[in-house]
Amino acid sequence: MSTRLFGTPIKRKEDPRLVTGGGRYLDDLGHDALAAAFVRSPHAHARVVDIDADDAFELDGVLGIYAHDDLPGKVGEPLPLLIPHPALTHGRTGYALAREEVNHVGEPLVMVVATDRYVAEDACQRIRVRYEPLPVVVGIESARDGAAVVHPDVPGNVAAHLTQVVGDVDAALATAPHTLTLELDIERSASTPLEGRGVYAQWDDERDELRMYSSTQTSTGVRAAVAAKLDLPLAKVECIAPDVGGGFGVKIMHPWPEEVLVPWAARLLRQPVKWVEDRREHFVSAAHERGQLHTVTVGFDDDGHLLALDVKFWHDNGAYTPYGIIVPIITATQLLGPYKPGAYRVEFWSLYTNTVLVTPYRGAGRPQGCFAMERTMDAIADRLGLDRAQVRARNFILPSEMPYDHGLLFQDGRPLKYDSGDFPATLNKLKALVGWDDFATERAAAVAQGRKVGLGIGCYVEGTGVGPYEGSHVQVETSGRVNVSIGLTSQGQGHETVFAQIVADELGVRMEDVFVTTGDTRKMGYAVGTFASRAAVMSGSAVALAARRVRAKALRIAADALEVSPDDLEIVEGTVQVKGAPATSMTLGTVSVLSNPLRYAFDEATQAATQFAGTFDPQKPPVAEGEEPGLEGKDFYSPTQATFANGMHAAIVETDPVTAEIRILRYCVVHDCGPMINPMIVEGQVHGGVAQGVGGALYERMVYDDSGQLLNASFMDFLMPYASEVPTIETDHLETPSPLNPLGIKGAGEAGCIPVSAVIASAIEDAEGFPITRMPISPADLWALRRRYAAGEIRPLRRASHPSESAARAEEPTP
Amino acid sequence: MSEVLHEVTLTVNGVRRTASVPARRLLSDFLRHDLTLTGTHVGCEHGVCGACTVLVGGEPMRSCLMFAVSAQGLEVTTVEGLGLLPDARVCATGQSMNPVQQAFTECHGLQCGFCTPGLLTTVTAYLDDHPDPTSDEARAAISGNLCRCTGYQNIVKSVLRAAEIRAERRVPDAAEPGERHPKPAAAGGGPS
Ligand code: FES
Ligand code: FES
């Protein structure tokens, strides 16, 4: 093998196509399809009294109007609960079209199918629905108090209640030299990919077959769910994820009501049907995440060592729980980050509200957990007057303690056991990158100019590459072209490139000869999906294993033909040759010809594989025992547990003394995802994650009013950061390999966004001199906090680095 | 109840196109669905994300905020047409790319690629007026386009790189068009 492609920042194979308008996203398909549009509830909670669609039927171009009553059999039954859990005692899912009750604004009630979307929307406007409004539950406090309930048969709005305990927390807290209790809140945000959801279905009436396309993170999941709903054999349903314009978690949820209804309508009407959501639909009917309230009680010694950590939190799961309680489980476990908590107890309540449902958004519960833990670390440092980085370092799990078993169950139902990582090294790199030890001077200079600056830090560990499995099929054509299929989908992570890099290395072929297909159930029927930073780990490993199988087979066949031992062969740039004697060789294409004994040649090259070509030993069967025709191989990777990546971020922020505007002056990232297949792509993932994190820290929140209306359901009002809001991101990497998989890799997709709210809060707190306990924070929020601080309603930090008008209060005893 | 249709004739990527559309047909839908030029994307349809940006008479416009009928007689360039501009070159994989397209592929300026067409058109027009931007100016130039994937770092880099490629490919005033153009391979190596 010549130069190794693994580890090189190779340009992406998908880009020439995507920059020239050659992308094929969902709405680029099916120009002649009928269009679906939906009547969605304008009420957050109401009984549906009556639906009158008479006027709508009169419109030219309307082909069908359907409400729940029209849905036959399983199509009309509740949507599946994807991830059941024993603690999810009151799991509830919605219907594809609401049955008698609507539980959030945006819930679909009626589907219209028409000749085009304009007409379909006209029809929706003519449909009159009468509602009888019911009491509305919005926000965690109102869900928790339980005076009104979302589902009448769910007392107190509690979908799930789960406690995990390691050690005797009460005893450890009772004897701890110091204790602190913090209330920490994170508000709702959402994945918000630039391309929304969409479904396009073609029904083949002659063959009773459905082909559907969905802008999804799991085509195998959609296929199985739709086959079940429509009572079709799996063999009669194919699902393809075309180019997908971003996912960030929201598209792992499935089946969306529309993913069931659009194929159903296509079969019913015997015509292709398509639905592509508009931006408002995405805001009010896809999924959100992040909303949680946390109470942390921590016990620690004089040096800042954790002795006990007692965490209670309340998770807003929205109106339904189709994705189970994955998000709060991740918070509960990943909150621990790189630290040894001492005795640990975590207890959460997952609560219903009359809002859009909650499913994982990049980071999936980790940003909240990280915020809770890192705020706690800062509070300990402040209480003891210690350096914040030092307190963290004192609690790190050390490399010598790996693998480290926390004694908890992770989101995959397996032990939370860290496999690798060198946290002290990561911290040292970060401190060097941001100039941690020199910041005091920097601050002094800023203060002298009347400016307020602060330094913040946040550390996290991320369980990546969760199972159960992924697979890959690798095939070499007689031309030497290598086809690679993986079942997992792509939403911009460069899968066509990184998996080609792995195959090119493993097989010894050129990058340009490798072609990767993702997320097409026709090519790979067994797959799980793209989430939890698992693609590189899971599919990367599967691709390597499958390519190794093909390599072994190629060597066997070539060894036979060249009459040498397979051990004497190597593959270089697509040619199998004798080591040290490269003249004795054959191309992989020729090996592919020989792998498939033919009766009929289809070109000159394949004549060598025909019966009278004299290339075969007449004593042996044409296909040797234990072999299959074709130069191809398939393999699966199924790990016993997740692999744990980690990282640490630091930021310097400046807050305007008058306007409370918050500016990030520097943002530094040190990240350890093991060996990087393509550092350019990893870096891109980190950048994108940090930008989303900045959005979550400073700008993005879902603003519901008390009646359950989402007040900012547009890009005008939901403030996603533009380039002007995202700072320059400085990165450094550490590559501690995972012992768990053949390539040693760990996931990277979500990392960037996990600690950002924690880091920014830490930095603002450092600049202002009083605790920040709620994120996101806007200038208006900060301004209000300053007023409360000035009025003595908020206690100051103890550390005395913040000369301000309120410095006098710094001596006040803390509660 | 059928809608009144209006005949619209405009020039798209140098080709005269005529179609009959209702007055309310958005230019974005017209390009995407009537002309099947699906390179132009829509991310919000309310003028905020910039994914739908096309050049109308060389100026960046949000095609979701224009009706097709209001483009009557105008010249529109979409992402599919950028490769036809004079400073486009054929790259190693066979596509013709203008300097901006080329730069985005070199600098990892895209991930999912959904926002990309709007950025490519925006930056193409920007560099026509500001051939040599600073990093801060490049950042300001793309600050009207939302990208949810990249965190913008590599888009800023792409703008700066595009300016370089553009300068490399620029025909000196005296030279005949087509002369002294560097080959695409010279423009930073091309996709590997
Ligand atoms: S689609 Fe036109 S600006 Fe977003
Ligand atoms: S590359 Fe995905 S939105 Fe920009």
Q: Look up the CATH number of the domain holding residue B95.
A: 1.10.150.120
Q: Say if the Cβ atoms of A194 and B112 lie within 8 Å.
A: yes
SS3 state at B7: strand
| Tally of CA atoms within 13 A in the half-sphere of A264 that contains its CB | 29
Residues B73 and B132 in one domain: no
Mean pLDDT over residues A51-68, rounded? 96
Q: CA of A11, closest CA in chain B: separation in Å?
A: 5
Residues B100 and B50 in one domain: no
Residues B113 and B163 in one domain: yes
Q: Are A697 and A371 in contact (CB under 8 A)?
A: no
Query: In angstroms, what CA-CA distances link A279 with A106, A109, A124, A192, A693?
Result: 12, 18, 17, 9, 21
Please give the mean pLDDT across all residues of chain B: 89
User: What pLDDT shows up at residue A536?
Assistant: 78
CATH number of the domain enclosing B53 = 3.10.20.30
Q: Is the pLDDT of residue A459 over 60?
A: yes
Query: In angstroms, what CA-CA distances link A232 with A51, A210, A212, A529?
Result: 30, 9, 13, 22
Mean pLDDT over residues A190-194, rounded? 96
CA distance A314 to A159: 11
| Tally of CA atoms within 13 A in the half-sphere of A573 that contains its CB | 3
Scanning A112-131 for CB atoms below 8 A from B yields 118
Q: Is residue B25 part of a domain?
A: yes
Pick from B64, B80, B96: which residue ends a domain?
B80
User: What pLDDT shows up at residue B171?
Assistant: 62
Mean pLDDT over residues A632-660, rounded? 93
Q: Is the pLDDT of residue A254 over 50?
A: yes
What separation in Å is there between the alpha carbon of B52 and the centre of ligand 1? Answer: 5
Closest CA relative to residue A578, chosen from A561, A600, A592, A602: A561
User: What pLDDT shows up at residue A226?
Assistant: 97
Q: Say if the Cβ atoms of A245 and B114 lie within 8 Å.
A: yes
Scanning B13-72 for CB atoms below 8 A from A yields 22, 24-25, 32-33, 36-46, 48-49, 51
pLDDT-derived band of residue B10, with 50, 70 and 90 as boundaries?
Answer: very high
Pick from B80, B95, B115: which residue ends a domain?
B80
What does DSSP assign to residue A25? B
Both tokens of A15, joined, read 């880009």
Mutate to test the interface with B, among A5, A17, A20 (most CBs of B within 10 A): A20
Contacts of A629 (CB under 8 A, 6+ apart): A595, A596, A597, A623
Residues paired with residue A214 on neighbouring β-strands, in sequence order = A199
Q: Is some CB atom of chain B closer than 8 A to the CB atom of A57?
A: no
For B31, the closest chain A residue by CA position comes to A28
User: What pLDDT shows up at residue B174?
Assistant: 42
Q: Is residue B129 part of a domain?
A: yes
Q: CA of B142, closest CA in chain A: separation in Å?
A: 7
What separation in Å is there between the alpha carbon of B110 and the centre of ligand 2? Answer: 6
Residues B72 and B86 in one domain: no
Strand A575-578: give its sheet, edge to edge: A569-572, A575-578, A581-587
Pick from B80, B105, B138: which residue ends a domain?
B80
Residues B65 and B138 in one domain: no
Closest CA relative to residue A762, chosen from A460, A459, A461, A457: A457
Contacts of A726 in chain B (CB under 8 A): 151-153
Kindly give the pairing relationship between strand A108-114 and strand A62-66: antiparallel
Residues B67 and B97 in one domain: no
CA distance A137 to A354: 5
Residues B29 and B101 in one domain: no
Burial of A469 (0-12, 13-18, 19+ CB in 10 A): middle
Q: Set out the domains of chain A in order of their start, with CATH numbers.
A: 32-134+197-244+251-285 (3.90.1170.50), 364-465+640-810 (3.30.365.10), 468-637 (3.30.365.10)
A187: phi then psi, degrees, rounded to nearest 5: -90, 175
Q: Is the pLDDT of residue B180 over 70?
A: no
Residues B74 and B127 in one domain: no
Closest CA relative to residue A305, chosen from A203, A396, A192, A236: A396
Q: What is the pLDDT of residues A338-381, one digit of tens each?
A: 999 999 999 999 999 999 999 999 999 999 999 999 999 999 99
Q: Is the pLDDT of residue A800 over 60?
A: no
Residues B101 and B52 in one domain: no
- Output the residue whose Cα is nearest ligand 1's atom 3: B47
Q: Say if the Cβ atoms of B43 and A726 lie within 8 Å.
A: no
CA distance A760 to A671: 17
Q: Say if the Cβ atoms of A492 and B24 lie within 8 Å.
A: no
Q: Say if the Cβ atoms of B39 and A21 lie within 8 Å.
A: yes
Q: CA of B45, closest CA in chain A: separation in Å?
A: 7
Contacts of B114 in chain A (CB under 8 A): 23, 25, 193-195, 245-246, 492
Q: CA of A687, closest CA in chain B: separation in Å?
A: 5
Contacts of A242 (CB under 8 A, 6+ apart): A24, A25, A26, A28, A29, A213, A215
What separation in Å is there between the alpha carbon of A334 and the centre of ligand 2? Answer: 28
Mean pLDDT over residues B94-104, rounded? 96
Beta strands per DSSP E along A612-684: 631-637, 643-655, 662-672
Q: What is the pLDDT of residues A723-780, one digit of tens each?
A: 999 999 999 999 988 888 888 888 877 888 999 999 999 999 999 999 999 999 999 9
pLDDT-derived band of residue A803, with 50, 70 and 90 as boundaries?
Answer: very low
Q: Is residue B112 part of a domain?
A: yes
Ligand nearest to the CA of B49: 1
Q: Is some CB atom of chain B closer than 8 A to the CB atom of A681?
A: yes
What separation in Å is there between the alpha carbon of B49 and the centre of ligand 1? Answer: 5
A308: phi then psi, degrees, rounded to nearest 5: -155, 140
CA distance A189 to A702: 6
Q: Is residue B47 part of a domain?
A: yes
Contacts of A141 (CB under 8 A, 6+ apart): A293
Q: Is some CB atom of chain A closer than 8 A to the CB atom of B161?
A: no
User: What pLDDT shows up at residue A638?
Assistant: 86
Q: Is some CB atom of chain A closer than 8 A to the CB atom of B116?
A: yes
What helix, strand, coil percent values describe chain A, rounded to 5? 30, 25, 40
Scanning A728-767 for CB atoms below 8 A from B yields 728-729, 752
- Give the DSSP per-residue string, A779-793: HHHHHHHHHHHHTT-
Mean pLDDT over residues B106-112, rounded? 97
Q: Is residue B96 part of a domain?
A: yes
Residues B74 and B148 in one domain: no
Q: Is residue B192 part of a domain?
A: no
Q: Say if the Cβ atoms of A21 and B104 lie within 8 Å.
A: no
Q: Say if the Cβ atoms of A193 and B148 lie within 8 Å.
A: yes
Q: Is residue B182 part of a domain?
A: no
Q: Is the pLDDT of residue A468 over 90?
A: no
Q: Is some CB atom of chain B closer than 8 A to the CB atom of A583?
A: no
- Kindly give the number of the ligand 1 atom that is closest to the alpha carbon of B63: 2
Instruction: Say how many domains are in chain B.
Output: 2
Q: Is the pLDDT of residue A65 over 60?
A: yes
- Ligand 1 pocket list (CB less than 6 A): B 42-45, 47-52, 62, 64
B8 alpha-carbon distance from chain centroid: 22
pLDDT-derived band of residue A127, with 50, 70 and 90 as boundaries?
Answer: very high
Q: Say if the Cβ atoms of A723 and B191 lie within 8 Å.
A: no
Q: Say if the Cβ atoms of A27 and B32 lie within 8 Å.
A: yes
Q: Is residue B190 part of a domain?
A: no
- Where b means 16+ CB within 10 Å and e means fewer, B153-182 reads bbbbbbbbbbbebbeebbeeeeeeeeeebe
Residue B87's domain comprises 82-169
pLDDT-derived band of residue A2, with 50, 70 and 90 as boundaries?
Answer: low
Written as one letter, the residue type at A343 is: A
Whether the upstream peptide bond of residue A263 has omega within 30° of 0, thus cis, is no
Q: Express as a percent the part of chain A with pLDDT over 70.
A: 97
Q: Is some CB atom of chain B closer than 8 A to the CB atom of A519?
A: no
Torsion of CA A690, A692, A694, A695, to 10 degrees: 170
User: What pLDDT shows up at residue A490?
Assistant: 85
Strand A128-133: give its sheet, edge to edge: A101-102, A46-52, A128-133
Residues B71 and B97 in one domain: no
Q: CA of A282, closest CA in chain B: separation in Å?
A: 10
Please give the mean pLDDT across all residues of chain A: 92
pTM of structure: 0.93
CA distance B27 to B67: 5
Residues B107 and B40 in one domain: no
What does DSSP assign to residue A536? I
- Kindly give the number of the ligand 2 atom that is closest to the alpha carbon of A246: 2
